[in-house]
Amino acid sequence: MPGFLYSQFFVRPSYPEQSFAEQTVLVTGANVGLGLEAARHVVRLGAARVILAVRNVPAGEEAKKDIEISTGRSGICEVWEVDLASYKSVVSFGDRITKLARLDAAILNAAVATSNFEVAEGFERTITVNVVNTLLLSLFVLPVLKATGKKIPKSQPRLTFVVSEVHAWVGLPEWKSDHILQTLSDQPTAKMGERYPLSKLLEVLLVQELAGRVRGSEVIINMINPGLCHSALGREGGWSFYLFKLVPARSTEVGSRTLVAGITSGLESHGAYMSDGHVENTALSPFVRSDEGRQARIKLWDEVSTILEGVRPGIMQNV
């Protein structure tokens, strides 16, 4: 908690200045909050094409207009529909991504935070959106990023996952069960008050494993913690969460700087956890860094891989 408060009150991530000239960038969850502000920075910094991946297309179109007005650049943003609660939607979106001639960077930011138990594609919805389908989407994106790196001289593709420091606030005793995600999707035992932090812990483990299987020289894969920010993520959190973040939360724009830092960082960030725009692997939870955490990571990867192969046979070969 002292580190959290110090970061919130005394650390201000650097304002993005690195050019995105000629680049194509994908941002999920780009119609509101951190995703919207990150996309705005990328457009401001000269990107040739920015794909706003959204569940709500009309809201995405409004976000596009807002970015165009604020940056004075039109014809750059495109609104593409994707619903991370649906395998069919992610596969359709992924197939569309594979047709891109160029993709230089992707920010996988879309997520849900709710205490309401709902099921999507056989798992509790937070798990489906923040974990299973986020990894599925990354596996569609990865080959296009790799191809861009080979095709475009001096390019360095990057894939950034937005995680959170709250991953360290929970444990994962369920990793010892026969089926981790099914166990977590059992409504009578699901601790929904801890569900968002838990989903981010699962995401951290999967990103670590993914990065370990991909050379950083091909694609830099990292994960970023934006800190506590004013954003749309906590809209289902109620008054208690609103009051909690009222004073310490960063503005949405300041928080979005950390997302842009993820897709402009160097090889030192490959497989790393970034906070305040810098690599800070020591901020990973003790569980993630433990032998037990490594065992859980491998088991989780194998389990999710089986699920994704059932959704799109052969998808794991994209790694």
- Specify which residues 250 forms β-bridges with: 229
Contact predicate 228/207, CB 8 Å: no
Based on the number of CB atoms within 10 Å of its own CB, is 86 exposed (0-12), middle (13-18) or buried (19 or more)? middle
Active site residue 200: yes
Q: What's the pLDDT band for 243 if we cut at 50, 70, 90? A: very low
273 noted as active-site residue: no
Q: What is the pLDDT of residues 36-94, one digit of tens each?
A: 999 999 999 999 999 999 999 999 999 999 999 999 999 999 999 999 999 999 999 99
State both tokens at 42: 């990328």
Look at residues 130, 133, 134 and name the one whose alpha carbon lies nearest to residue 167. 130
pLDDT reported for residue 302: 98
% residues pLDDT > 90 (the chain): 87
Q: Measured between alpha carbons, how far is 63 from 258 in angstroms, rounded to an integer?
A: 20
**E-only strand ranges, 127-264:** 158-162, 220-225
Gap between the Cα atoms of 215 and 192, Å rounded? 36
Catalytic residue among 65, 200, 245, 273: 200
- CATH 3.30.1540.10 correct for 14-309: no
Q: Which of 87, 146, 196, 273 is catalytic?
A: 196
Q: How many CB atoms lie within 10 A of CB 135?
A: 23
With 60 as the cut, is the pLDDT of residue 237 above it? no
Name residue 44's amino acid: R
The pTM for the full model equals: 0.93
Least confident residue range of 7-11, 134-138, 168-172, 212-216:
7-11
Joined together, the tokens standing for residue 179 give 């089926």
